[in-house]
Structure 1
Amino acid sequence: MASPAPRTSAGRRSGRPVRRRRWTAVLGAFALVAATVALAAPATARTSAGDPVEFATRCVPPPISGVPPINGTTGARITVDTTTPKVGDRVTVGYEVTRAAAGNPVDLALPADIMTPTGKVTLGGAQSGAVAVTGPRKNPPVPGKGAFPPFSMTGSFTVTSPGTITLSPGDYNIHTSFVMELDTPCAVATPPAPVSVTLTATQGPGGGSRELGLSAASGKPGERVTVTGGGFTPLTDITVAGRAGAAETADRMTLSTDSEGAFTARLKVNDTATTGIVAYEGPAWTAEKGAGPVPYTVGDGGTPLPPGSQRITANVTTGTLSMTQAGDAVQLSTVDYGTGGSATGGLRTVTVKDYRGGPAGWSLTGKVTDFTGPGGATIGAGRLHWTPECATRPGSPSTCVAGSSGPVGTEGATLASTPNATTTGGEFTVDAGLSLRVPAFSAPGAYAGVLTLTLT
């Protein structure tokens, strides 16, 4: 029988660190985790680099390392594919960590391509929230106790409000897949971190962004009312018309928008049945290419009042179609490696506000990417199923209808909607139960996919 390898004073046999044997011993205890599902959009090329910034960071090494939390400094910058988006545009965001606050917490060297970073970019100004970003599993070798190398992550978000939008680097996590699946989360010590890049968003056409306004809410028969519009397709023909309920009146005119998609019209209104005014592109009004109706009353508003009387009027202005969500990450339940099954959770609640005051309904749809896991393993997008739920705030003119239960997939499915009607609008909350159907013996580790929600 061969003699056992000699021990060294450092507690090693044949040059193998005791710590590595300790990691290997607990490897089999890890279950499959269906990881964050971020509400964001697909990535595209980045072109505009923000300013480099530094911020205090607190990183927590894996407990098994025995290393206490690290208080350090992170160097980073944010990049975007455009600094002048329009409302409804999707902006691709890059988060580049040029200097991580943490490093390899153990003496064991880490090989190449075992690090997968994830993080968040914080929005401020005209739009709040956070953008989930992820990076590829790629890195040079990291020596024992060495600093983590620079890395980049990407994600995207939809612009929902015009104005100045600031982007700052947020918390990030470094996941390593070597011997064990381990995480080193790093949080901004005093959020938010300094602003790296600023966007200037403007109102754009489509997606419920068309706007219509009137110079008066009423007038005598034959009087002209000034109609102003914005957010339409630039340099295209527009029809401005009176509406009597769901039907158009003979009061109408055509004109063209300017290079910014705006117009000003002087519409002569004769029909006393007119209850509102609309504007639209194309041969007939549609919810996709129209705006309004804005309420308008035709009457004898100039008749002298009897002594001691006062005429009282009030205007109701229209708003926009918008949505917000209660968070941007969903953690699904764990699934056993040997049996597989459903990793379950719930979609972050989405609130839809339809303040347009017109006849158009809305539709909220979603699509998801494949779920990427360790070593390039994937779980198909078609394995994510949802069970939508939708509630309507009392008093809302429209009633929300939940989409059908079933797979989401890369082609997408309807989460909720309201129908077109003579009068629509209201506030609605949308939820969904999520279930990722994981095959048995899927590679252990964290799997992440991106769910994109679109409101039209």
Structure 2
Amino acid sequence: MGSTGRRRRRLAALLGATALAVTAGGALAVPAGAVAAASAAVDFGTHCVPPPIAGLPPIDGTTTAQITVDNTTPKVGDTVTVKYKVVKPAASNPTDLALPADIMTPTGKITLGGAQSGDFTVAGPKKNDPVPGKGAFPPFEMTGTFTVTAPGAITLSPGDYNIHTSYILELDTPCTVLTPPAPVSETITATDGTQTNTRAITLGSASGAPGANVTVSGANFTPGATVTLAGRSGATQTGDTATVTADSQGAFSGTLAVSDKTTTGVVAYEGSSWSDTKGAGPAAYVVIDDTPIPDNSQKLTTTVKAGDLSMTQAGDAVQLKAVDFGKGGPSTGSLQTVTVKDFRGGPAGWSLTGKVTDFTGPGAKIDAGKLSWTPACATKAGSPSTCQPGSPGVVGGTGATLASAPDGTVTGGEFTVDAGLSLDVPAFTPPGSYSGVLTLTLT
């Protein structure tokens, strides 16, 4: 585990007259784009078509991209969140006009192979560094989800992508893979699970103008069922809906007119309202606002920038209560409060876990399995996610969950995590100070 993966804070638990102290300083921070071990950047030939107004020929170049996932070992029925990062686009600014920051909206597709085939859409925020005239487009990142429908090794390859710029004119630069599929960037291994919902949808495109029709294709729905297609703005359904009927194989293909400019995705579900057990999606989709600006008017735009997943703690020492030789029993204390801040603004949740070493002292040790905790956590008002405490019980050398927040359409927030600690000291443990190291890991 390096700086691109998980970073650790270590708490040293010292029994008796000494304290449970931090042995590594600094706040833990997991970058929003932390890379899974199996993921690799890949190069592939790309055919990019500049906007017609530029009067330039197509560009055949090389794109460098990397795909990462939030779960490399999902079960059938799980929804996997995927990030598609274009490290080096093949296209560049086709004009001599410098482009300001935050006017580029990327969309694209990812191709599945191996145990599961097909593709799904991804979309990114309108976020970029300034681009000089004829300068290279900067890196960008897109996010989407897909539902695992089959066990086995599933490969993920970068697909076609489009760069939409909103500055003076609304322009597109579509880039297609010259020899599809592109090389595999990520592989996950799916197993059979207890979940039975394998419904899945794909979109014909990942973006469109207000009111544009998007083709929605579905599979594994109930044969003959009426299926509602709907737009999503975060976790809220928009007013854009349509209905289709699944065929005898549980498949369908329909169109949905998407007008709501806050749309972030499209879902499909059976029944009168959304249900995780009878729905699929959301598949990433964004509305490109190309509404002309009236005369004598000015369009005002702002950007909300994504941050990091991080943790800090209130102090670096915990005093556990002393126990008597010949009696032993619980040596208790409280974990220093840990504050988790999830400012990434994406769909991924988080997990805070801990494990402890044996407690060593004068010629003896207390087994790691003797330390237990009772977790508690609180969520700051207004946070999209809700913190869930881990189960009370043994921490031990194999570890246990202290707190977590689940995946969701939009996640994030600020959380405080605490725990009561209890070390069960054997009655005739030799007198002296005993210490062990409790390691907390945030992912």
TM-score normalized by the length of structure 1: 0.43
